[in-house]
Amino acid sequence: MSGEANDSGEKIHDPTPKKLEDARRKGNIARSPDLLSATSYLGLWIGLLIIGAAQIDSLGGSLSQIFAQAAGPQGIAVAKGAVMTAFVSASTLIVLPITMILAVLIAQRGVLFTGSNLMPKLERISVLKGFGRKFGAKGLFEFGKSFSKLIILSLALAIWFRLEKDRFIGLSGSSGGALAIYMGRTVLSLLGVATVVAGAISVVDMLWQRFEHLRKLRMSHQDLRDESKDAEGDPHQKAQRRRRAQELASNRMLADVPEADVILVNPTEIAVALKWARDQGCAPVCVAKGQGEIAARIRELAAENGIPVFRDVPTARTLFADLPVGSEIPQQTYVAVAAAIRFADRMRARARGQAR
């Protein structure tokens, strides 16, 4: 018994699509902050590429003119041009990263307004929960990720300074415009390195976050049974609904029995009610059929409405098994059914003669 309980309570099954969708509606999805950081770096880097060296050169030239003509009449006009250039560049650098971050959030299905995450939860202020988050597997992963970023970026900066040291020293006597151009290109190269590093780490982080998200949403045997029961309904209720549907169908079918021409029986377990529209030139049609209690009810209705009952065991069984209600009889039963209808006609004629 305990083994069965453990099996039903142990969460070893992957979450179902319904479980994932319910979690998403509550705002519980796999989120990677590093992916958003890498996206923002990439947006800034692409923005700098869009601005291009021409804009940087123009801004550097404007700064040089400002420095040269600061006291002259053209200084204000040059300064206005530099401000407009800087404004356009800054707008690109702000709008593009935000747009890319929103695109990533939408791709992650992370843009969802829900109030469930705003509700206070005791586990968020629990000391034990906080300790587990800091020193558990997730905390160790976050520490390793941050430490890796620090080491990789430090190595990248050290290599860059080693390569650019002589060039940087050589610019000590250059003009302000040249320094501005150099600094712009330096920012572009450093941002490119940071983007590559952040992108590589974000891939690992996203895979980890996805793994953790699916692990937390794993389901036990009981969870699967409960979800199946919720989706399909309780088996007892389904059986009751099925019985009610069968009863309704039987009642509608039995309502057509009084219009039948003959009832074929076998003789007690099966009853098939047939109606023949002679003026339409078609074969007889099954208006009702049943076995057991339904067959008994068909015979009762036949007695109440004066419908002849004809005993033909093979034909009754064939029609009951193969003929749907509302369909014409198959050709191989024409002879047997014709005999039943002739019997019914004789019985009606005899009844009319006795009535006279």
Domain segments of the chain as ranges: 29-113+120-216, 254-355
Q: Is the pTM of this model over 0.75?
A: no
Per the CB < 8 A criterion, the answer to whether 149 and 201 are in contact is: yes
pLDDT digits (tens, 9 = 90+) for 146-170: 888 888 888 888 887 787 777 766 6
DSSP state of 312: -
HSE value, Cβ hemisphere, 13 Å, CA-based, for 47: 23
Full DSSP string of 149-188: HHHHHHHHHHHHHHHHHHHHHHGGGS-HHHHHHHHHHHHH
Estimate the crossing angle of helix 176-216 against helix 137-170, to 10 degrees.
170
Distance CA 352, CA 348 (A): 6
Tell me the pLDDT band of 1, cut-offs 50, 70 and 90.
very low
| Cis previous bond, 284, omega within 30 | no
Give residue 308's pLDDT.
92
Superfamily in which the 254-355 domain is placed by CATH: secretion proteins EscU (3.40.1690.10)
Distance CA 87, CA 68 (A): 22
pLDDT digits (tens, 9 = 90+) for 187-235: 778 888 888 888 888 888 888 888 888 888 888 888 888 777 776 666 6
pLDDT digits (tens, 9 = 90+) for 43-85: 888 887 777 655 555 555 555 555 555 555 555 565 566 566 6
State yes or no: pLDDT of 40 exceeds 70. yes
Going by C-alpha positions, the residue among 264, 258, 314 that lies closest to residue 289 is 264
